[in-house]
Structure 1
């Protein structure tokens, strides 16, 4: 099974868009490890990603985070394989009033974090599960804030490992969570403590030079530091949004600029200035013929071509 857990390999150097669409396999029959009930679930066969938001949520052809199979009767989320001892423990955990209440109020990945904490309280994956849960709550500001707090409460207890890429990635997400919550002083303190100058020691200056690196660890470190610098620019201007235009690929930012051009209130002063930069204007011109036609018109044209064939 597949579970989307962000790791330290931020993959920010690969900025070109992939043309691969998501593909969903036919439903497969699965058996719940607790209770043995059979049910069907469809997995992604493939999907593409191209960058990510400051909180780590990928941009791509699929829906993120990818929800694991969920047993329909007891609500167990099959996010990993469980040992026999864990399955025994899960019987009681799933039957508890607390867990069954979570099924009504909380998202799948928040419940994953709850289960993992009950089974393995010291698991370092719990912090990532909570981050994934915050992505699931994009449409519920109150719930998202609660999940961001839960993420921060756990992430701030983790021991410092400045040489560890995963720890650095977590600190970047911590800084971002404080930013989105409007706690700019705390976000700045995280940035200051990371000491970007020290992190940059021995790394190339430009993206082009980073592409030439053969050392994967240095490439990942460069990507993290570069993203950290860019996020700091967003922080300094007091921007709390989850998707600042200057943290997106130029193509994606240009598409937003194009579609919102007739609604000035949808773009703030920074956005309007950013949309007018030569790089974004160039992307807008490149995409105008695609974006200027509605989906219905494109579908009709495609159907006409298929009929002619």
Structure 2
């Protein structure tokens, strides 16, 4: 099975809890064709037949052997991000929407942030999908995302909801939000989330094998909070325990 567009459907923190237990498998790019569901326009995307995670960055974004894949296909003419396979009912709502002034405004946003606004319109937010879209925006569009105060606030709301749904993912989500607040220059919020992430990590005890990894990440994150502009603390800087 190829990996690319369907990656948005993954169970995020199940992968986080196991990613460093496996050897790296190098992926090879595979071209595939997508069809825009609104107008039938065809365009090329890049997928792969194999992929593995080899580490994390300081924003906790996975470093993979297939970073070249098209994670979010975007229709060239309409600018619609295909973050899911839309139902016929959803497409009926989207067809008039993409002709509106509201959509023209949304289209100026980077793709993942645009996808979230469309998800809001279709009432897909306040869910695992909403959290995953904003997490991808944070990881792949971090500069503009952190400057968008409204979406940054939505990120916290979606993260809180995801923590309610996913007990095992709680410390990881709290650690990611610690980094997000530190990177956006909000030290008080960063400190509060750091304390929360540390407490949640301690509460894991020996329930899984990733506690040591997460503690190492939090230690590095604690060191970075007062020097976020240094090269080793930037969002895409590599992290190894």
- The two structures have a TM-score, normalised by structure 2, of 0.76
Conserved 8 A contact 2:134-2:155: no
Report 1 or 2 for greater relative contact order, CA contacts < 8 Å, sequence distance ≥ 6.
Answer: 2
Conserved 8 A contact 1:53-1:59: yes
If you compute each CA radius of gyration, which structure gives the higher value, 1 or 2? 1
Aligned to 2:113: 110
Aligned to 1:69: 73
User: Aligned-pair distance for 1:184?
Assistant: 2.4
User: Aligned-pair distance for 1:83?
Assistant: 1.6
Of 26, 29, 47, 1:24 maps to 29
Query: Is residue 125 from structure 1 mapped to residue 129 from structure 2 by the alignment?
Result: yes
> What are the Cα deviations for residues 161-206 of structure 1, in whole angstroms up to 9, with x where unaligned?
397123443222111111212322221212323562x6434633xx
Aligned to 1:91: 95
Query: Is residue 249 from structure 1 mapped to residue 240 from structure 2 by the alignment?
Result: yes
Aligned to 2:146: 145
Conserved 8 A contact 1:57-1:65: no
* Pairing of 1:1-309 with structure 2 (within 5 A): 1-4=5-8, 7-9=12-14, 10-11=16-17, 14=20, 18=24, 20-28=25-33, 30-63=34-67, 66-103=70-107, 105-120=108-123, 121-137=125-141, 141=143, 143-147=144-148, 150-156=151-157, 158-159=160-161, 161=164, 164-194=167-197, 196=199, 199-201=201-203, 203-204=205-206, 218-219=207-208, 222-223=209-210, 226-228=213-215, 230-236=217-223, 238-240=226-228, 241-243=233-235, 248-249=239-240
Conserved 8 A contact 2:146-2:152: no
Query: Which secondary structure state, in structure 2, belongs to the residue aligned with residue 36 of structure 1?
Result: coil
> What are the Cα deviations for residues 100-124 of structure 1, in whole angstroms up to 9, with x where unaligned?
3433x32211111111111124333
User: Aligned-pair distance for 1:71?
Assistant: 1.7
Aligned to 1:290: none
User: Aligned-pair distance for 1:53?
Assistant: 1.9
Query: Which secondary structure state, in structure 2, belongs to the residue aligned with residue 187 of structure 1?
Result: helix
The unaligned stretches of length 5 or more in structure 2 are none
- The two structures have a TM-score, normalised by structure 1, of 0.61
Change in 2 beyond 3 A, CA 1:244/1:109? closer
Query: Which secondary structure state, in structure 2, belongs to the residue aligned with residue 165 of structure 1?
Result: coil
Q: Distance in 2 between matches of 1:201 and 1:113?
A: 32
Q: Distance in 2 between matches of 1:78 and 1:34?
A: 11
Q: Distance in 2 between matches of 1:235 and 1:149?
A: 26
